Every structure is written in C-alpha cells, then in structure tokens.
Amino acid sequence: MLQFAPLFPLIYRVLQPSFPNCLWTGNTNCKKIALTFDDGPHRHHTPQLLEVLDYYKIPASFFWLGVCVQQAPQIAKMVHARNHWIGLHGYDHRNFPMLSPQELKDSLEKTQAAIESACNIPGQLIRDVRPPNGFFTPNTLKLLKKWDYRPVMWSVVPEDWVRPGVNTVTQRVLNQVQNGSIIVLHDGYFGGEDVAETTAALIPKLLEQRYEFVTIKDFRF
C-alpha cells in the first residue's frame, strides 16, 4: 500500500498558516502535547488502549464516529468515565466536502446524539470536530463556524492506519514531535490492532523528553 507519511509534515506546514481557524497545534513555547485517537470506539482495540493510558495516567482525546459509538456504547462509556476528551469525527467517516450542508449537519448531530445516549452527557457540549482524512474546504470551515463547532486538525501524522509496524510509527512520531504537537493515532478498524502497543512504546519515550500530556481542551487557536 502506498504510504504518504513523509508528505504529512510538508502538508502541515502549507495548510496551517493558510487555515488559522483550525486548531493545528498547541502553544509551541510549552512542552505540552496531545495524544489523539480517531475512528473509535472499537470493542477490542479501545479497551486495550485504555489499559495503557490508565497505567501511565495519561489523558487523551478521542474523535469518534457515530456509527462506532452506537455499536460499542459501553466502550464509549468507559472512555468518558476516565475523563478523556471527546470530539466528533462524523457519523460514518465520509469526507465532509462530499456531503451537502444538511448531510454534514445531520452527521455531526447524529454523532452527538449517539454520544449523549452512551455517555449521558449533553451532546451539544461536544464541539470539537476532526474531519475524516483531514479533508475540508473553506466552505466546510464556514459551516462548522456557523454551527459553533471547532475544527481540530493535527501536526504529527505517522500514518499508523496502514500498519507500517509499531517501531516505524513510533520513530515517525519521535522524529516529528515538538512543543504543542497534536499527534493522531487510530483505535478503529484500520490501525487499531497496533494502537495499544504503539502507545505503550511512545509514552515512556516522550516522558523521558519531559513532555506533558494534555487534552485538546487545553489547546486554543
């Protein structure tokens, strides 16, 4: 499978200044970083990941698909009970630019409703949105702003979803991480098989470098 991992740092450097109304990174003057996980919750991969986060007492941010929340509501509840941050990834991973405005609105609201049902928290309080595959247009951002959502992107993308191996993913993160980094990994169907092992390899190495782990709620534009 063709891998684009070497391109993501270049893409980030082009897109970040072009779209300042997306959250791309935290404060680059502080050694705070955010571990984020897309495409869950997953019945098997997410509980294994939670064990690692519990062991190291690390907070994380999860961007969920509505359909996965509906399939694994008890897992969603487990994540919320540990006070991890929760955001939206759309209902079924369709690229936002391919949806009509009404379809996009429905996708986000259905995901909020699924989270509200599973976790017993008001769906309207969940305002952070990460577009699937990182695809958006200026019109996508305009709609999200109109509906009072905050677009959350990334600065470190090790392309774990193609499963290049735990060592490769770990090294890609370590090569790119810096103050304020938003690291994206996946605990869903693609890449989730390795996520617990990858996270267990990464966390101690990042702690050695004296990084502090925070959630997306601690980062601002």
Interval 45-79: pLDDT, tens: 999 999 999 999 999 999 999 999 999 999 999 99
Q: Among residues 12, 58, 28, which one has the least CA distance to residue 220?
A: 28
**Quick one: pLDDT at residue 20?**
79
- Look over the chain and give the mean of its residue pLDDT values, rounded to a whole number: 93
| Separation between Cα atoms, residue 49 and residue 62, nearest integer Å | 11
Kindly tell me if the per-residue pLDDT of 13 is higher than 70. Answer: no
Q: What does the pLDDT average to over 170-177?
A: 96
Alpha helices in 155-194 (DSSP H): 166-176
Q: Which residue has the tokens 């991969």?
A: 45
Superfamily of domain 28-218 in the CATH hierarchy = Glycoside hydrolase/deacetylase (3.20.20.370)
pLDDT of 16 strictly over 90: no
* β-sheet bridge partners, residue 186: 38
Domain boundaries, the chain: 28-218
pTM: 0.93
- The whole-number pLDDT of residue 2 equals 38
| Residues noted as catalytic | 38, 186
- Give strand pairing partners of 152: 23
What distance lies between CA 97 and its chain's CA centroid? 19
